[in-house]
Chains A and B, each alone.
Chain A
């Protein structure tokens, strides 16, 4: 057996959000002020799952540890346990309702401040609130660089080389660690937990931390569902060219 070469030991924190499954039909209760969780399956935010998997790939290659962190109440524990089953060594749950991105970032920053992570990964955005803000907020709060929507990351000699999506293209950049980055789709393929992982997850440490003092900067006051479409107007396939006529002359979108 050859000895494992620990070239660049990485201490990584991965931020996990607990979100409704993508197939969820969204409805609201309490006079449209609360998301209706009845019958809804919750999952790890898909982008966070990519961040977690990439973190594991990095530490498996060069040594290190991966901690999963979430801000949420006890109902989020299945998702954080799943993160452990996928392979995180330990997990932290900050025991608070995640009211907005600012609050979540403040909580994670308060925890991360004393832990000296080399790398913090988040998802590009959560698929429920679609803020896409935690990465940048965390970067500023911790005084470290933030790199949004990365599609690749390699770490070597205390520095990361990344590719990220920019408007209308891609950018390759390098940046010294520590840094925070947010995972975009191409980063890797999500890893499915195996039975051994699921068994191990039961006994892995899950620390519950009470929230730090924080500023409530915003509040969601109401939700609304989009208005239903008026009904489709069908055009016969034989007269498909009529579509262009309608789009150009009648509704003037082309």
Chain B
């Protein structure tokens, strides 16, 4: 028996969320006295795979191939479920990223396994197999009991610690055994925003609302974000008015995020917005209206005009960063 973890990579590089998943799987494996097996698909080489052992994998299965450099859900799902069967895995761990989630559901159907996405806890096995997940778009949590012999868990990034196990690297190179029909969808073009941190993976997020008055003022948000190494986000009205792309909209009908720090500037804090950000570890609200609902949901607040407050904060942040170097 084993715990299998899908070690998601992008252009041959593992992300932080992958290491979180590996450490999560390693802890599960340890609790069950079984092996933690990581599956790498794509072009990540053995030196990169060493990091998987470092963070908890007893064994790494590496399946390489030019066609596998790009994510194709159908092909990946086949490789992951085949590995799960081969390794006699009772739990399959996958990061709850866009790619991770789209492949996790196919894996669950292939293995006829119960699946929970957005998982934010280790399983509680005192009675059954219960995991906690976020529901109602951040307004509540649910404990879900998974009842099948094999389970698939899609775990929320930025929730679990990366632990150094420093295990010896053992890589097994495998052939995928895929054929052309497994690549039924064809990626034509991939465009990644380079030099910017994806919102869902960011530890710090700087977010702007209508209080910024227009897209021409967004340099104030971007300046602070860049200084802090943060991702930028926005409220629903801002994306509805096309001041910012929809991909930056956080809230109930946008993206749900849980960074370590969320700084909301000129956002009143409607219930739908708070739903998407309330899991953030620390929330700072900056708003000129002292009655803004956001102050009830924030840890720190500044009542003041964004155009006066933001430059001060950014200057202080730049000074802090300069001293840190």
Contacts and interface: CB of A to CB of B under 8 A. Distances in A.
B256 A244 contact: no
Interface in B110-159: 110, 112-118, 128, 130, 133-148
A135 B128 CA distance: 27
A199 interface: no
Interface string B57-89: 000000000000001011001000000000000
Contacts of B105: 101, 132-137, 139-140, 146
Contacts of A137: 105-106, 108-109, 115
A9 interface: no
A173 B185 contact: yes
Interface string B186-200: 111111110010101
Among A218, A251, A253, the one with the most B-chain Cβ atoms within 10 Å of its Cβ is: A218
B10 A219 contact: no
A186 B188 contact: no
Contact of A130 (B113, B193, B256): B256
Contact of A237 (B144, B247, B261, B304): B304
A157 interface: no
Interface string B27-68: 000000000000000000000000000000000000000000
Interface string B264-299: 000000011000001101111100000000011111
A243 B313 contact: yes
Contact of B185 (A134, A151, A175, A230): A175
A140 B301 CA distance: 48
Contacts of B97: 167
Given A148-B98, A240-B313, A226 B279 contact: yes
Interface string A229-244: 1101111110011011
B315 interface: yes
A133 B190 contact: no
Given A185-B254, A229-B296, A217 B147 contact: yes
B104 A136 contact: yes
Contacts of A230: 299
Contact of B246 (A132, A168, A185, A223): A185
A9 to B, nearest CB: 22
Contact of A253 (B147, B204, B239): B204
Nearest to A224: B141
Interface in A30-56: 46-47
Contact of B299 (A139, A145, A221, A232): A232
B161 interface: no
A163 to B, nearest CB: 9
Interface residues of A, number: 82
B168 interface: no
A233 B300 contact: yes
A135 B102 contact: yes
Interface string A136-157: 1101110001111101000000
Contacts of B320: 244-245, 248, 254
27 contacts: A26-B136, A26-B139, A127-B137, A137-B115, A139-B105, A145-B185, A149-B102, A161-B188, A168-B10, A175-B185, A185-B246, A185-B249, A217-B114, A218-B116, A219-B147, A222-B142, A226-B138, A226-B139, A232-B298, A234-B295, A237-B302, A237-B308, A237-B309, A243-B302, A246-B300, A247-B261, A251-B282
Interface of B: 10, 15, 71, 73-74, 77, 97-99, 101-106, 108-110, 112-118, 128, 130, 133-148, 184-193, 196, 198, 200-201, 203-204, 228, 239, 246-247, 249, 252-254, 256, 260-261, 271-272, 278-279, 281-285, 295-305, 308-309, 312-313, 315-317, 319-320
Q: Lowest 4 A-B CB distances belong to which pairs? A: A136-B105, A237-B304, A169-B192, A140-B109
Given A22-B271, A128-B135, 15 more contacts: A102-B114, A102-B115, A148-B102, A166-B71, A167-B98, A171-B191, A185-B249, A216-B147, A219-B144, A221-B143, A226-B141, A237-B308, A253-B204, A253-B261, A254-B204
